Amino acid sequence: MTSPSLPPVASVVTRFAPSPTGQLHVGNLRTALHNWLWARRHGGRFLLRMDDTDAERSTAEYAEGIRADLAWLGLHPDGEVKQSDRFALYEARFAELVAAGRLYPCYETAQELDLKRKVQLGRGLPPVYDRAALRLSEAEKAALEADGVKPHWRFRLDHDSLIGWTDLVRGEQHFDPALLSDPVVRRADGSWLYMLPSVIDDMEMGITHVVRGEDHVSNTATQLQMFTALGAQPPAFAHEALLTGSEGKLSKRLGSLGISAFRDSGIEPISLIALLARIGTSDPVIAVTDAAPLVESFDFAHFGRAPARFDEQELALLNQKIVHQLDFAAVQSRLPGGMDEAAWLAIRPNIETVSQAADWWRVVTGPIAPVPTEAEDRDFLACALALAEMQVFDEAIWQKLTDALKQESGRKGKALFLPLRRALTGFDHGPDMKQLLPLIGRERAIERLRAAIAG
């Protein structure tokens, strides 16, 4: 049921806003997924926004890689925009805020600001910008600019009232704006920082819910005042606990590991979705082959504030469970030629990834590496060969052959089944021979038994 505090179902609009300066990693993916799940649960829209204002580091290749990763995962956006196409919009809103006195120029160098912070910390004070630029006269500003000093621009926070909102994950949040620095929104070279363009875009795109990591909580406090200054109703916010690895901190390797690495290792997209949809919540992680039950149950009220633990071993085990449920139609295009549904169903319980099916299919089609035959098993396998040559190879061939062998040899259990499996497959374990032997077929089975006797 939708909470009364939420907007009507049809009005939910979320966005995923990556910077195309690198590959998507698992933390990015979790943010994208939760935005997608929330929009889908409410019949809303999920938008992709490329935050590509960093012209030096943003590339078309990274942007295309992000789109490809989302497509592989089935997280198809309902629309896409690029910040680099929206500079005129930012300029117009920037001018409005300058005229309203909410943006002001500052002339300190990075070194001067760093010294100020160190002095404040040394005095036991919070390292908050002292607003010295607001005390400059017009003549002083003109003199600085005449000397070639270009200003950066800050948003002037309103100190008259506390900033507060009800976070969908963290509950009631309160910030004293006097304890926050006026954020820099534009650099001296004219380039944009994240804060203001993001607010302008969220307004123009009709975003109703911003879902992101808890490291953005203080950003939200300042951005709420930007929404108000621009005359807009702010969206709802959900700040989720950050991911950690099995060692308690998300490793640099995992934090930089591209989604393509999971794809290349045989992880199914639904496995990543199933794990990332539930870790950090009170809901159990479940092996599903379709995202529908995850969409239906997704709720920010189920998220805790403790770090969400991402374990690659848990992902691998979940992936194995999911592979064991996949229908033939879902994997047919990835199976080796000639492998039909009966073969998939026989092999499926013995693999961890779909690609491993090819290894067992080679066991079916051959040739197989012969396993040395113990001396005491040669007569037994000769008996098996004679019986096999008299049998019709149908779906019951394994049962018929082993029943006859048991009667002839007196063997049972491991002594009966293991030498036969080794001779027919080259392995001590594997798919159920009831299903595998009909796939191997009469000709190959007889050939392998003869080779085992000779060996």
Residues tagged in the binding site annotation for ATP: 252
What token pair was written down for 380?
């037994």
Per-residue tokens: 90 = 């930012």
Residues 280 and 303: beta-carbon distance below 8 Å: yes
Q: Which of 445, 447, 365, 347 is nearest to 401 (CA)?
A: 445
- To 5 degrees, how large is the angle CA 115–CA 119–CA 120? 120
Cα–Cα distance, 418 to 110 (Å, whole number): 74
Q: Which residue numbers belong to the known binding site? A: 252
Q: How far apart are alpha carbons 125 and 117 in whole angstroms?
A: 9
Q: Which residue from 395, 385, 399 is spatially nearest to 346, judged by alpha carbons?
A: 395
Query: Are residues 332 and 407 in contact, defined by beta-carbon separation less than 8 angstroms?
Result: no
Residue 315's Cα: distance from chain center in Å?
11
Q: Is 21 exposed, middle or buried (0-12, 13-18, 19+ CB in 10 A)?
A: middle
Distance CA 81, CA 203 (A): 13
Instruction: Identify the bridge partners of residue 281 per DSSP, sorted by sequence position.
Output: 303
Rounded to an integer, what distance in angstroms lies between the CA atom of residue 96 and that of residue 102? Answer: 9
φ, ψ for residue 67 (rounded to 5)?
Answer: -60, -40
